[in-house]
Amino acid sequence: MWGKTITSFGVTAIICSTMKRPWLGVLALVVLAATPATGHHSFAAQFDRSKPIKFTGKVTKLEWMNPHIYFYVDVKDEATGKVINYACEGTAPNTLYRNGWRKESLKEGDIVTVEGWRAKDGTNLMNAGSVVLADGKRVFSGSATAP
Amino acid sequence: MLTVLLLTLLQVSTPDFNGFWTNQYTPDLAQAFGKQPPFTPHGAQRWKDVDTKDDPTAVCLPVGPSRAFTAPFPFQLVQTPKLIAFMFEYQTIYRMIYMDGRPHPPDIMEYPEFMGHSIGRWEGDTLVIDTIGINERSWLDTAGHEHSGKLHLTERIRKLDDNRLEYKVTFDDPVFFTEPWSLTRTFTRGKDTDRIMTYSCNENNKDVPHLVGNKKAPEEEKK
């Protein structure tokens, strides 16, 4: 149903290529939620579907503001000890709110696994298609109250 | 007295569209149309050259009259006998449909507006909206279909049932299209408790410096 598709998420199967960084994982079949539909601009103007990314780290900040929410995740490279702070773009806060999500759904200090796509400009910005907490609970996709 | 009676009769005889409605998100109109619109050579060249980083809504400009109905955000419809107002959440903007018989302003083409100027009438149970004077900077969709200042929109809205409105839009723009073309979408009624929320686009718009663009972009929107 179209009306539902606006705020729920389809499912897209993506095969990740082997990544150079160990925490990004190796060849894997990853099932990702489709790109959040914001309408604010074209996905392809900012992100690259040919560059999927997956990481696990600690949430450092959440910005619950229009036109997209942003949250930031510290990801440590176990090999070098270097920490990268990824900026993760989500969908519109109004859309999330209608689906039952709240600012408290993702808190500073939470450990999350995020999957999505890198920004085209090569910065540490990504579009978050899937956000999963350490306990396996998925946040910011579909309805917070759905079974 | 007669006027009041006529207005009352009009209210009784016209359908009630009041309510909170959810759009059918359509980022690429060609997908809904089933093919690319009938471009003129100029329209085809513009489509070839369009760069999605230049989307006016990415920098928070008004969405345009028909794209407001295909964006992934709801709207509130407020209906009176002489005026129908669409209050769009996306980009927090509105359209006023004048139902009082007035014509378009004579100088609207010289002073175009992002949402154009709209006058409406009832044809039986169908609301027919005529819109001109649309600022050519607006886009028709996220994929990057553009238009000229000569775009003439005709929109027809009717009830399918209490919870659905049918929306048919016809794009007539001799600069971009060889002939008028149309597509139909459906609006779905929200819950009584739903409300339009502020879409404060400039609140935290961090996208702009990251918009790299893609000259051949629109294929991506079809995924």
pLDDT single digits (tens) A101-113: 999 999 999 999 9
Q: Give the nearest chain B residue to A95 (CA atoms).
A: B73
Query: With 90 as the cut, is the pLDDT of residue B132 above it?
Result: yes
Q: If DSSP codes are grouped into helix, strand and coil, which group holds residue A45? A: helix
- The per-residue pLDDT for B154 is 98
Q: What is the ipTM of this complex?
A: 0.85
Running DSSP on this structure, what letter comes out for residue B30?
A: H
Query: With 50 as the cut, is the pLDDT of residue B104 above it?
Result: yes
> Length of chain B in residues, anyone?
223
E-strand spans in chain A? Answer: 11-16, 28-33, 47-63, 70-76, 83-89, 111-119, 125-133, 138-139
B154 in Cβ contact with B130 (< 8 Å): yes
**What would the pLDDT profile of B8-46 be if each residue is shown by its tens digit?**
555 558 999 999 999 999 999 999 999 999 999 999 999
| pLDDT band, residue B213 (cuts 50/70/90) | confident
Amino acid at A24: L
A129 in Cβ contact with A139 (< 8 Å): no
B26 in Cβ contact with B101 (< 8 Å): no
- In which residue ranges of chain A is pLDDT below 70? 1-39, 143-147
Backbone CA torsion sign across B149, B168, B76, B123: positive
The stretches of A88-143 forming alpha helices (DSSP H) are: 93-98
What DSSP element (H or E) covers B45?
helix B41-49
Average pLDDT, stretch B70-80? 97
| pLDDT band, residue B4 (cuts 50/70/90) | low
- The per-residue pLDDT for B10 is 53
Cα of B55 to nearest chain A Cα, Å: 6
Indicate the average pLDDT of chain B. 92
**CA B192 – CA B3 distance, rounded (Å):** 32
Chain position carrying tokens 């769009």 = B88
Query: Best of B53, B141, B142, B184 to disrupt the A interface by mutation (most A CBs within 10 Å)?
Result: B142
Taking the whole predicted model, whether its pTM rises above 0.80 is answered as yes
**CA B134 – CA A137 distance, rounded (Å):** 46
Are the beta carbons of A65 and B197 separated by less than 8 Å?
A: no
Structure tokens at A87: 């900026």
Residues of A in contact with B24 (CB under 8 A): 2-3, 6
Residues of A in contact with B205 (CB under 8 A): 66-67
Q: Express as a percent the part of chain B with pLDDT over 90.
A: 85
CA–CA distances in Å: residue B102 to residues A95, B65, B78, B119: 37, 19, 19, 7
Residues of A in contact with B186 (CB under 8 A): 2-3
- The per-residue pLDDT for A19 is 38
